Chains A and B, each alone.
Chain A
Amino acid sequence: MIEFKNVTKMYGSNVGVENIDITIEKGEFVFLVGPSGAGKSTFIKLMLKEIEADEGTITVADREVTSLSNRLVPQHRRNIGIVFQDFRLLPKKTVFENVAFAMEILHAPRKVIKKQVPLMLSLVGISSKANQYPHQLSAGEQQRVAIARAIVNNPPVLIADEPTGNLDPDTAEEIMNILQTINNRGTTIVMVTHAKDIVDRMGKRVVAINKGKIVRDAEGAYREDD
Chain B
Amino acid sequence: MIRAFGYTIKQAFVQLFRNKNMSTASVFSITAMMLILGLFFMLVVNVNLLASSAEDQFDSIEVYLLDEVTQEKAEEMLEEIEDFDGVARAYYMSKDDAMEEMKSRWGENAYLLDGLVDNPFPASIIITATDLSVEGDIVDQLEGMEGIEDIKYYQEMVGKILSITNYIQTGALILIGILIIVSIVVVSNTIKLTVHARAQEINIMKYVGATNWFIRGPFLVEGIIIGILSSVISAGIVGFAYYQFVESFQQRLLILFSSGMVPFEFIMINLIIIFVAIGISIGALGSILSMRRFLDT
Contact = CB atoms under 8 A, between A and B. Distances in A.
Given A50-B297, A73-B297, A107-B4, A88 B210 contact: no
Contacts of A90: 200-201, 204
Interface in A104-163: 104-107, 109-110, 149, 153
Main secondary structure of the interface of B (DSSP, over half): helix
Contacts, number: 47
A88 B211 contact: no
B214 interface: yes
Nearest to A90: B201
Given A88-B204, A90-B200, A90-B204, A105 B297 contact: no
Contacts of A194: none
Interface in A26-80: 48-50, 70, 73-78
B132 to A, nearest CB: 59
A41 B67 CA distance: 103
A214 to B, nearest CB: 25
A90 B7 CA distance: 17
Nearest to A108: B3
A102 interface: yes
A77 B209 contact: yes
A109 B1 CA distance: 11
Nearest to B14: A92
Interface string B209-250: 111101000000000000000000000000000000000000
Contacts of B209: 74-78, 105-106, 153
Interface string B1-45: 101100100000000000000000000000000000000000000
A209 interface: no
B6 to A, nearest CB: 10
Contacts of B214: 74, 105
Contacts of A175: none
B95 interface: no
B111 interface: no
A82 interface: yes
Interface in B139-163: none
Nearest to A75: B209
A178 to B, nearest CB: 19
A24 B210 CA distance: 26
B200 A78 contact: no
A101 B3 CA distance: 13
Contacts of B207: 48, 77, 82
A125 B296 CA distance: 37
A48 B7 CA distance: 26
A82 B207 CA distance: 7
Given A74-B206, A75-B209, A109-B3, 17 more contacts: A48-B207, A74-B209, A74-B211, A74-B212, A74-B214, A76-B209, A77-B207, A77-B209, A78-B208, A101-B208, A102-B208, A105-B205, A106-B209, A106-B210, A107-B4, A107-B7, A149-B208
19 contacts: A74-B209, A74-B210, A74-B212, A74-B214, A76-B209, A77-B208, A77-B209, A88-B200, A88-B203, A90-B201, A101-B208, A102-B208, A105-B208, A105-B210, A105-B214, A106-B208, A106-B209, A107-B1, A107-B3
